[in-house]
Structure 1
Amino acid sequence: MNVKTWAAAGTAAAVLLGGGWYSWERGSAPHTESLCGTPSGGTDAEVATSAQGIAVVEAVGAAAHDPRAVGAENPELVTTPVRVVATMKGDFAPSIGVSQRVEPGGTPGSFELATSNREVIMKPGERYVVAIGPGDLKARPGTTTFATFIQPARRGPAGEADYWRNVIATAPPKPICDDTAG
């Protein structure tokens, strides 16, 4: 099993178990991150507490396997290109790719969710609230963001922004943990 496959397995286990470390190597530059209690399917308050970033986004392309997201040999990750409409937590670039886990197999271009009842597959032209657990909100080259929450923006961008800002303001503080990205 190569480094990228180990990284994918570690990421999945950490997200499902609510914490942990994972590492991967992209060319000659190793990259390490920690996941500090990122819930998969937690309450809105848990999502607000643990998320690195929360935003309303519009999908500008279809979900597709992304060989840059941990490795081409990992068909269990798809990335959707999005435009950031409103930011409630974190400092996002105007456009990013949002990666999420899906079930392997199926017909090309058709994906089923693997881990969470709080995620949907994004469709081009539609708006969603996304919470990013680990990843680079600035979309620097060679980086990936991983969603822990993706739901349709049913309240509209302004309504979702107001709702989530209130949830963030009243959520308990994040437990002490050393989130690092190197």
Structure 2
Amino acid sequence: MSVKAWIGGCLSAGAPAAGAAWFTVAAQGPGAHAVCGPDLGRDEVVAAKSQGVAVVEAVENARYREEGGSAYLTTRVKTLDTLKGEFGAALDVTQGVKNGGAPGRYATGDPDRYAVLEPGSQYVIAVQSGSTTGTAGTEAWAWYAEPAQRGLAGEREQWKQVLATGPEDPVTGGCEDVSAGSVGEQR
């Protein structure tokens, strides 16, 4: 059986904390597999399962580190619009990246739903854990980051509508059997 796993962690006051996980495991039948964790390819699921959602501008990549076989990038961001939860005016956001990164050359396994925060660009981020207050020495774990392609007003409208309506299907964090063609297609 083949296994593809991506595991991230977060930092809070310099200590490792619980992080996000996304697992895809091949199943017995052709074209089917199990997905564990929420489907972050659906905005309504991102909104429902996240501690906070905001439109931010990346200011600077402040720190990169590798630990336990994983790599982490902490980026200082400026909050442009809070869509869910509470966010300080500026805060440090940590995300998992591929090992061996260098300034301007960081990458993730899924750039469509988990873009690397590049200074000078705007993003919609969803925080799974950590502090969003911006207090010195704290960090938030972003498990979702997407370029703000609709502009600030467009993202505000999109996410306010998503937050108001919620997901049509129950949102669980458990495993679901899905067909190979359905993963990541819903948006």
Place the TM-score, normalised by the shorter chain, in its bin: 0.5 to 0.7
1:62 CA displacement: 2.8
Match of 1:20 in 2: none
Secondary structure of 2:87's aligned partner: coil
Give the direction of change, closer, same or farther, for the CA distance of 1:127–1:47 in structure 2 (3 Å limit): same
1:123-177: per-residue Cα shift (whole Å, max 9, x none)? Answer: 21111111111111112333220112111111111110111010011114877xx
Match of 1:78 in 2: 73
Partners of 1:65 and 1:40 in 2: CA distance: 27
CA contact (8 A) 2:91 2:135 kept: no
TM-score (norm 2): 0.66
CA contact (8 A) 1:16 1:115 kept: no
Give the direction of change, closer, same or farther, for the CA distance of 1:138–1:121 in structure 2 (3 Å limit): same
Partners of 2:111 and 2:119 in 1: CA distance: 21
Superposed counterparts of 1:23-172, under 5 Å: 39=38, 41-62=40-61, 64-65=63-64, 73=67, 76-107=71-102, 109-114=104-109, 117-172=112-167
Partners of 1:59 and 1:86 in 2: CA distance: 13
Structure showing greater radius of gyration is 2
Structure number with higher helix proportion: 1
Q: Please identify, of 140-149 and 107-116, the stretch whose mean Cα deviation from structure 2 is larger.
A: 107-116
Q: Provide the aligned C-alpha RMSD in A.
A: 3.0
TM-score (norm 1): 0.67
Secondary structure of 2:88's aligned partner: coil
Alignment identity in percent? 38
Structure number with higher strand proportion: 2
* Unaligned ranges ≥5, structure 2: 1-10, 24-35, 173-187
1:40 CA displacement: 6.2
Match of 1:16 in 2: 22
